Chain A
């Protein structure tokens, strides 16, 4: 690793001050499980690394009207947090898929999102639950729907003097359930060939809201809006799920690489959409 200076701010304000002065040459460090490998292999070589572990606000999960999840909460903490059950279960499921235990005890939700890999496992369930990213910068805080947070492969809306503070997950309603599934050749420590999160909110036997988010099949996590629309207002029958699964393919714009061909990835989107919608429905009605 190339040498760098290390700043250890103890508050959000201290951190923002550092970023205002030196944001352009700095990288933020939360869990480090994505940052350090990229620094070791020379992809990134910041002159300054800013460690977020001293900032209390980014390390908390609050459960009240919806959830507030600090950006530096670890994947393992989310996996085990009893607040991430019921309608929020898909977030915990996705957290449990990140790396190994050794990685999950370090890796953070904010790091997974800010690293902005197309395959980021924790993005689809949060997008499907309509999470908002709370971003702090020199002018105060702003909120961005997580679906609009990603702008490209490893690119987000964050400016160099800004940081992701927390995620706000609005309460999805009384009868809501979701699931995240991905396909990997190996069960542990692998990167998704394709991933799908579905969230269904039911009312009077019909689908009040459907949200479907895809991973690893486009430069950013994407919503399958045509598939969502096909379900809303309808009874969620096996036929309706099959139709939505076929429509979800329209949102996928995958690459061909050693992990999977375009055709295979589209096939996976259909299968995983069908499976996650089926489970989401069961969970919503449970």
Chain B
């Protein structure tokens, strides 16, 4: 089985990377591109730890073949923040002490970021729905929902300040 060339955009940078036809996008990101933020929890799309953005939409990268990402735009937790500063979501997660074991956090942050892009002022209920595809085995959901709500406020006030 010959390797194939995967051409796509990862965290804003165009990349060409040789991948085996049978690897998942998650494995290609972790093993071939050194982006170990996305995690493998269940490997079957139930836990959300592998969540990345595909053209701005959340996907379970463990359920996609790497080659299915050809020509598409991928963003991982490594590309969430701009240079030198945390994303408001990351900042709120730190201040609320959201991460416990931390394994689910990259996926939750990517789910929350996609949610806020689509719905800048979500209700508690909408926040919970937005992260329904992410399991936190430490059960830290309360702090998570509060932090996402606060980050939404922060982003909104930054926007009105500009």
Contacts and interface: CB of A to CB of B under 8 A. Distances in A.
Contacts, number: 90
Nearest to A76: B57
B67 A99 contact: no
Interface in B11-38: 20-22, 24
A6 B4 contact: yes
Interface stretch (B45-53, B73-81, B91-99): B45-53
B133 A37 contact: no
Interface of A is mostly: loop
B44 interface: yes
Interface stretch (A101-109, A139-147, A244-252): A101-109
Interface stretch (B58-66, B82-90, B141-149): B58-66
A105 B58 contact: yes
Given A36-B64, A49-B21, A49-B65, 13 more contacts: A3-B20, A6-B65, A32-B64, A51-B65, A51-B68, A53-B68, A76-B57, A99-B45, A101-B133, A103-B60, A105-B54, A105-B57, A105-B58
28 contacts: A4-B22, A5-B1, A5-B21, A6-B65, A8-B67, A37-B43, A37-B44, A40-B43, A49-B22, A53-B68, A99-B45, A99-B133, A100-B60, A100-B134, A101-B114, A101-B130, A101-B132, A101-B133, A102-B48, A103-B45, A103-B60, A103-B133, A105-B58, A105-B59, A106-B63, A187-B132, A188-B133, A189-B133
Interface residues of A, number: 28
B44 A3 contact: no
A236 interface: no
Contacts of B60: 33, 100, 102-103, 106
A1 interface: yes
B63 A32 contact: yes
A92 B9 CA distance: 31
Interface string A1-44: 11111101000000000000000000001011100110010000
A101 to B, nearest CB: 5
B76 to A, nearest CB: 14
B111 interface: yes
Contacts of A76: 57
Interface centre among A3, A6, A187 (most CB of B within 10 A): A6
B132 to A, nearest CB: 4
Contacts of B51: 102
